[in-house]
Amino acid sequence: MVVAEYARGSVPATSRSALFAMVPVVVVMMIAAGHSAEREEGARRFLAPALAGLGGLLLLLPLQFSGSARGSIMLAVVCATVVLVGVASVWLYRSLHGIAFAKAVAVVGFANAVFLLVWSAVRGDMTWRWSGVASVLSVSTLVDVVEVLLLLWLMREMQPMRFAARYLAIPLVTVLESYVLVRPELTVRMGFGTVLLAVGTGMLLFLNAGEEETVLSLH
């Protein structure tokens, strides 16, 4: 959230989406970095789908990057965040997999709440008026709470590589919706990109890696 806020003017949303599509690749590399030969071989089976999905998305999205010094810095910050998200996905799966869901919600929720509270204080965005606090009690906030709980549950229950497929699945759904609603003129590049994105996402979600529990459990 913090990086997206500060990179908004220098790295457009479409470019950020393309960069975050590299998260599955980072997760695969993290899993393959294990000392087990079986784990490395199992993770490599997911590398091709991750790269295919990334390549398909790059064919579909119009990438734009600023040539200014700030733009280059923000681009580097976004790339570092992508790596951090990939590493954290693997680490959180290992840390949360064996504990109660309520405890996982408390630990992750508290840590993020403290971080955002401190960040808001640093920026001077703290709101202490009751009208501002009361706005939390809304339907949109309830939707956000349900989303966070679902994400935490999936983070504990899904293997990291499958969970990382959401960075490809969400753009895929958006692209398919645009085909239905906007009906753009289809080109070979768009068709090939959509196929690559769909195949990569589907394989990440449903590919049978054989001894997957042994390979990906990270224990």
Reply yes or no on whether the pLDDT at 209 is more than 50.
yes
d(CA 75, CA 66): 9
- Give CA separation, 63 vs 13, 44, 60, 150, in Å: 9, 28, 9, 31
Structure tokens at 3: 């990086």
For residues 5 and 198, which has the higher predicted lDDT (pLDDT)?
Answer: 198
CB of 87 closer than 8 Å to CB of 26 = yes
> Tens digit of pLDDT for each residue in 179-191?
989 888 889 999 9
Query: Mean pLDDT of all residues in the chain?
Result: 84
> Tens digit of pLDDT for each residue in 72-82?
899 999 999 99
Which residues are CB-neighbours of 75 under 8 A, at least 6 positions away? 7, 10, 11, 65, 66
Q: What is the 3-state secondary structure (H, E, C) of 25-75?
A: HHHHHHHHCCCCHHHHHHHHHHHHHHHHHHHHHHHHCCCCCCCCHHHHHHH
* pTM for the predicted model, two decimal places: 0.82
> Tens digit of pLDDT for each residue in 4-47?
888 887 888 888 888 999 999 999 988 887 655 556 666 778 89
Q: Give the H or E element holding residue 140.
A: helix 139-157
